[in-house]
Copies of this chain bind each other. A is one copy, B any other.
């Protein structure tokens, strides 16, 4: 563990410089009101390193607390990606006034990055890379790498006379070559390059497929613009993987925990209206049994139990299948195996729950008929939940749809309708026992 001084009152510059990660952790935990004091007299260069490790929200808080002159220094010294993150969160006027005062070289760099769509390769790329010409010797290339002062370079990019990307030289090959060898003898063709507008999902998929450390970003003419490193996609991979969580319940993957209410409402309301339609469909099924319910009110009381159980069991089957598809552990060709498993699980879980639930209902109502009805309904609806939970995402994928987007609502509709039908239908058939 790094030393952790009491930084409530001021953050020692030495601490920031030596333990940026630990310092970031502590800043993250500090209440905003204490931060203003703690930042007093802090060194901009050291701070801009630490800020990289802060959450975007906290980084902006820290930035906003800095005096104007220090804001400029941070923007100048921070990695361009952090600077862009900060700038995009500022009001337009603040952003423009800060940009106007920056050194021209930083300003132009940031302006260019800001012009790319959010979550695009243009935003995610690093502009710290080294280019060389194929006819250069290893010695010349190494000198150039040394002068660049870039740390942790993994490749050197070979470009043609007009700046177009022509290949890459792995740094290991460079280390093992003789000084007078030319790069032409070491260069490997670039397997995949992307445009500045390639989105995050495509980048994640590409890096997964190609098993490269990084992917070069080129402009329309094939000139090297930057490099998206595997590292910088850590957050993107997590982000793409968790997007399904939101898509499944009708939330746009672009919505963030602190998006504006207006954005959230606009994106969620249409889905809630679709949900309303399916809820009315479930109500319609219940309505078919109106006379029966009027006669036996206990049925209305037990309705939430049937819906709750089949809904949860269906969600279990759906989650496991969705995740398997996402992680490519199963393909849609294996639908029989997945379905078979969920049928067995649904049947056995249904049988066990039928016993528990039947007993509980018998204790509550002293009615053998009611206990039998809910037990039979439990078996049928668990089975339906297993079938629907496994097949809905597979069928959606087969139809070329994103399995996350509609699966939850289709599933709920099926489990509600199946649950109500099996429960009230069985009750009707066995009404002589109620």
Residues of A within 8 A of B (CB): 21, 28-29, 31, 53, 55-58, 142, 145-146, 151-154, 170-172, 174-176, 207-211, 213, 230-231, 234-235, 237-239, 241-246, 248-251, 255-261, 264-265, 268-269, 271-273, 275-276, 278-280, 282-283, 286-287, 290, 293-294, 297, 299-305, 307-309, 311-313, 315-316, 318-331, 333-334, 337-338, 341, 344-345, 348-349, 352-353, 356-357, 360, 408-409, 412, 416, 420
Contact = CB atoms under 8 A, between A and B. Distances in A.
Contacts of A152: 170, 172, 213
Contact of A286 (B210, B268, B304): B304
6 contacts: A207-B234, A261-B345, A269-B349, A275-B312, A297-B300, A304-B307
Nearest to A290: B297
A349 B261 CA distance: 10
Contacts of A268: 313, 316, 345, 349
A299 to B, nearest CB: 8
A312 B269 CA distance: 11
B275 A309 contact: yes
A210 B21 contact: yes
A265, A278, A301, A309 pick with most chain B CB within 10 angstroms: A301
A153 B213 CA distance: 11
B170 A319 contact: no
B255 A279 contact: no
A251 B151 contact: no
Given A152-B170, A172-B151, A269-B352, A238 B241 contact: yes
Contact of A258 (B31, B248, B329, B360): B329
Given A272-B309, A275-B308, 10 more contacts: A57-B329, A238-B241, A242-B327, A246-B319, A258-B324, A259-B341, A268-B313, A271-B316, A287-B301, A300-B303
A244 B246 contact: no
A256, A331, A345, A353 pick with most chain B CB within 10 angstroms: A345
Contact of A209 (B21, B244, B324, B333): B21
Nearest to A413: B308
A315 B249 contact: yes
Contacts of A412: 308, 312
Contacts of A153: 172
A353 B276 contact: yes
Contacts of A319: 245-246, 248-249, 251
A331 B282 contact: no
A344 B176 CA distance: 62
Contact of A237 (B211, B241, B248, B307): B241
A147 to B, nearest CB: 10
